[in-house]
Amino acid sequence: MTIRHDWTRDEVVALFERPLNDLLFTAQELHRQHHDPDAIQVSALLSIKTGACPEDCGYCPQSAHHDTSLEKESLLALDEVVAAAHAARAAGATRFCMGAAWRSPRDADIELVASMVQEVKALGLETCLTLGMLTDTQATALRAAGLDYYNHNLDTSPEYYPMVVSTHGYDDRLRTLDAVREAGLSVCCGGIVGMGETRADRAGLLLQLANLAHHPESVPINHLVKVPGTPLADVPDLDPFELVRTVAIARILMPASVVRLSAGREQMSDELQALCFLAGANSVFHGEQLLTTPNAAPARDIDLFARLGLRTSDHTEHDHSGGTDRGPLLYGSACANESNAPEPA
């Protein structure tokens, strides 16, 4: 199958309407053409600056607009970040992601974060940042510091986006993705399901991602974690099979990308996670906490991967051949992912 960037909405909607068994069969065939089906790439994410974000994203407990009793924390010191990266590497992570609850970083912030990137890179880990919206100059500076990936999620479809965020628009996110790509950075970009959106909105999100000029190297699929005090705390639960369908269609539309089963794993059954891996998910965040909310326990991950015959490896978005076996995960890192997306702004 030729990798495409010209999908139509009707085509994506039709994929959602296929029988689940047929959809999974197609997704698994494509997955095996581009990836080792039994390898899981493991990432860890540390919140390097928590809370008081000026954006009003309806899913995010770090927003200053929502009363979630989250304590504001300043930017972490360099030695704290390095210690967390050491723990993540020992736990089996191959990529270390750092997130800050900013709308947009200041140039002075970029200088501080660049030093973190350099120190983490020195440990042999790939690096990823999520700092909010970037200018062209800031993206270039981060690339010069050695940054590998930048995360900036689209969250949902353009049509549903105003129901989730009002303090910036969809085009703002697209402009940051352009700046990141132009700077030569790899892109981590996905979205969130279970925010009250329709199936058409899930199709719209995947359509936007699949029709970018270059597919994101990493596509996180997040399941909403309902945090009391946020506007989306009481939305109806999503049918779990809709999550599986979303993962499978992401794999079909973007076959060479790594699809990460991200936020929400703590609330998923082992069986649901296994279906998502069958559908083409081949990356997870590891650690007991994801920025500010719980993640699947490390011991549970180790047990689940062993039962499924999955191995953690050096598999990265740069190496679709599967890489070398790193052996089992050892323990949870001090790293975390946002409750609903590895991108806090």
Tokens of 264: 């929400």
Residues 151, 84, 318, 299: what is their CA dihedral angle, to the nearest 10 degrees? -100
Query: Does the annotation mark 188 as catalytic?
Result: yes
Which one of the listed residues 260, 265, 311, 335 is annotated catalytic? 260
Which one of the listed residues 97, 189, 276, 335 is annotated catalytic? 97
Which one of the listed residues 57, 189, 276, 335 is annotated catalytic? 57
Rounded Cα distance between 121 and 250, Å, is: 29
Return the beta strands (E) in the chain as ranges.
39-49, 95-100, 126-130, 149-151, 186-188, 191-193, 218-223, 258-261, 281-285, 289-290, 293-294, 311-312
Query: Does the annotation mark 57 as catalytic?
Result: yes
Query: Does the annotation mark 335 as catalytic?
Result: no
Which one of the listed residues 60, 189, 276, 335 is annotated catalytic? 60
N residues, the chain: 345
Query: Does the annotation mark 276 as catalytic?
Result: no
Query: Does the annotation mark 60 as catalytic?
Result: yes
Tokens of 57: 């994203």
Query: Does the annotation mark 128 as catalytic?
Result: yes
Residues 71, 169, 236, 264: what is their CA dihedral angle, to the nearest 10 degrees? -50
Q: Beta partners for 108?
A: none
Which one of the listed residues 89, 95, 128, 276 is annotated catalytic? 128
Which one of the listed residues 95, 143, 181, 188 is annotated catalytic? 188
User: What are the catalytic residues?
Assistant: 53, 57, 60, 97, 128, 188, 260
